[in-house]
Amino acid sequence: MLTMEKAQDYKELSQMAAEKIITKLSHKPEAVLGLATGSTPVGLYEALVAAYKEKRFSLAKATTFNLDEYVGIHPSDENSYAYYMNQHLFSQVDLPETAAHLPNGETANLEAACTKYEQQIASAGGIDLQVIGIGLNGHIGFNEPYTPFEQRTHVVELDKTTREANARFFPNLEAVPTHAITMGIQNIMESKEVLLLVAGEQKAAVLERLVYGDVTEAFPASILKEHPNVTIIADQGALSGLKAADYQAGD
Ligand SMILES: N[C@@H]1[C@@H](O)[C@H](O)[C@@H](COP(=O)(O)O)O[C@@H]1O
């Protein structure tokens, strides 16, 4: 089931998302959080860091698992998702280093890295709250269209469109990795709660398809309709393709 919460703008969306995480941690300080990268959650991490400085929460007992990581990029490379997470969140809060997990895309044995990630998630007890964004082709994590819904952590070849969309972070398109490790759709579906953030007019058509379209592997995010606890926080731009009656007003 999809619950929609409306934000006026990106700033409010980010703050609303941060409040969800802070509330989760206040009920369960040892929560297992699933985290995402991309442009959309940058504001969420900023809001979390600000709230952390006000001592509103602690991650000392929490564990985190990121959705995905590029293959062949070292964690110290500024385009790796490990670097992104350190820069935007981990280096500024009290999450123990050993409690932060990302798939290891810099190893000769990528299959073993996927298996290890699965084991780590399982031994942490599964993910309580998974934050996700959505790609322009409906991908979640790096699960591109036609990824089987039952897929778990695996290596993917990135869509040309995804590489183009992410080229803005790299010197040129050729520098964008061709492969990534991503949690599978099954992992996302197994998380107890999902928080999907959708910002900006460029995502309006994707959100429209998610809300009104069928559940199909051609549009990976569509499976979220079968998850029992999904909250979508979307700003006005992203909501511009929906009928007002299809979402409730935020506070
Ligand atoms: N792997 C990430 C996804 O996890 C993210 O949701 C998507 C959208 O990113 P953005 O938020 O920058 O639009 O991009 C990348 O491909």
For every residue of 167-229, DSSP letters joined together read GGGSSSGGGS-SEEEE--HHHHHHSSEEEEEE-SGGGHHHHHHHHHS--BTTBGGGGGGGSS-
pTM: 0.96
* Banded pLDDT at 246 (limits 50, 70, 90): confident
Averaged over 202-225, what is the pLDDT?
97
- Is residue 84 scored above 60 in pLDDT? yes
- Is residue 245 scored above 80 in pLDDT? no
The answer to whether residue 5 is domain-embedded is: no
The answer to whether residue 3 is domain-embedded is: no
The answer to whether residue 245 is domain-embedded is: no
Structural domain containing residue 154: 16-199+220-234
Average pLDDT score over the chain: 96
- Is residue 63 scored above 50 in pLDDT? yes
- Is residue 22 scored above 80 in pLDDT? yes
pLDDT at 250: 44
* Banded pLDDT at 248 (limits 50, 70, 90): low
Q: Report which listed range, 58-67, 169-178, 235-244, is most confident.
A: 58-67
Tokens coding 159:
């869509």
- Residue 55: Cβ within 10 Å count: 7
**Residue 162 CB-density burial (10 A; 0-12 exposed, 13-18 middle, 19+ buried):** buried
Radius of gyration of the chain (CA): 17
Pocket test for ligand 1, best of 40, 71, 176, 235 (most atoms within 8 A of CB): 40
Centroid of ligand 1 to alpha carbon of 141 (angstroms): 7
If one counts the domains in the chain, the total is: 1
The answer to whether residue 69 is domain-embedded is: yes
The answer to whether residue 188 is domain-embedded is: yes
pLDDT at 188: 98
The answer to whether residue 207 is domain-embedded is: no
The answer to whether residue 2 is domain-embedded is: no
Domain of residue 59, CATH code: 3.40.50.1360
Of 146, 187, 144, 186, the closest CA to residue 162 belongs to 144
Compute the distance between CA of residue 76 and CA of residue 70 in angstroms, rounded to an integer: 12
Told to judge if 68 belongs to the known catalytic residues of this protein, a careful annotator would answer yes
Tokens coding 91:
């280096």
Told to judge if 74 belongs to the known catalytic residues of this protein, a careful annotator would answer no
State pLDDT tens for residues 135-175. Answer: 999 999 999 999 999 999 999 999 898 899 899 989 999 99
Percent helix, strand, coil in the chain, to 5, is 40, 20, 40
Hey, CA dihedral for 49, 9, 240, 243, is it positive or negative? positive
